[in-house]
Amino acid sequence: MSRTFIVAIDGPAGAGKSTVAKKLAKRLGFALVDTGAIYRCVALEASRRGVPLDDDARLGELVAGIQISFAAVGGESRVYLGGNDVTAAIRAPEVSMGASKVSARPVVRQGLLGLQRRLALAAEQGAVLEGRDIGTVVFPDAEAKFFLDASPEVRARRRHAELGEKGVEASFEEVLADQNRRDRDDSSRELAPLRAADDAIRIDSSEASIEEVLLRLEAEVRSRMARRG
């Protein structure tokens, strides 16, 4: 029996990974595993418990007992932490920055690696995973790998608009500065830095619509699925 089909989508914040991953999973009938949301949940839980983001001992204990799950509700993917819906809470700017910090801690990355793999491999039809190191660390043998990117300004504009829709007040300059800090942190960390896998298909979404990007990914995945039989 062959392993479930794994689709890895990596890239920096604001490249469109989350939106494309959700839509692609829905079209293919695959499970969605948002690894970025997993790290955000760790950051949120650490904040709630008063755990310093550089305290490896306490972070290790937190990760060992954390309960994270995903579910489709009304056609939308929801994120649950300890049984509570935290889909909106984990998108707050301070949680985003916290997620970047905890993701740089080896104890957190190693502690969550098994969870990410289990969630994906438990999917019968297939799974779409999006994050920073899916194609390089979590599933280096993924059946299909993509790296989505866009210019810093385009990514910041998207994030700024997203925050505005949620009622979060932040200037474009603040969003761009936060994003640049996250990019530096994610790309320069020693463990599992943000980078494209050598065999990943690179896509620049700066001038492309979500639908255009989605169609390209879907066509490639279906082609590989057909070849796999």
pLDDT tens across 61-112, in order?
999 999 998 887 776 778 999 999 999 999 898 998 899 899 889 999 999 9
CATH number 3.90.1150.10 is the correct assignment for the domain at 5-218 = no
> When comparing pLDDT for 28 and 73, which is higher?
28
Query: What residues contact residue 151 under an 8 Å CB cut-off, 6+ apart?
Result: 206
> For the chain, how far is it from start to end, CA to CA, in angstroms?
12
| Mean pLDDT, rounded, of the chain | 91
* Three-point CA angle 143, 147, 150, nearest 5°: 160
pLDDT exceeds 80 at position 220: yes
pLDDT exceeds 70 at position 1: no
* Three-point CA angle 86, 72, 166, nearest 5°: 45
Residue 62 one-letter amino acid: L
CB 129 within 8 A of CB 9: yes
Backbone angles phi, psi at 93, to 5 degrees: -50, -40
User: What gap in Å lies between CA 17 and CA 5, rounded to an integer?
Assistant: 18
User: What gap in Å lies between CA 91 and CA 40, rounded to an integer?
Assistant: 8
The full set of domain ranges for the chain reads 5-218
Interhelix angle 35-49/106-121, nearest 10 degrees = 130
pLDDT tens across 162-211, in order?
888 878 888 999 999 988 988 888 888 777 788 999 999 999 999 999 99
pTM of the model: 0.82
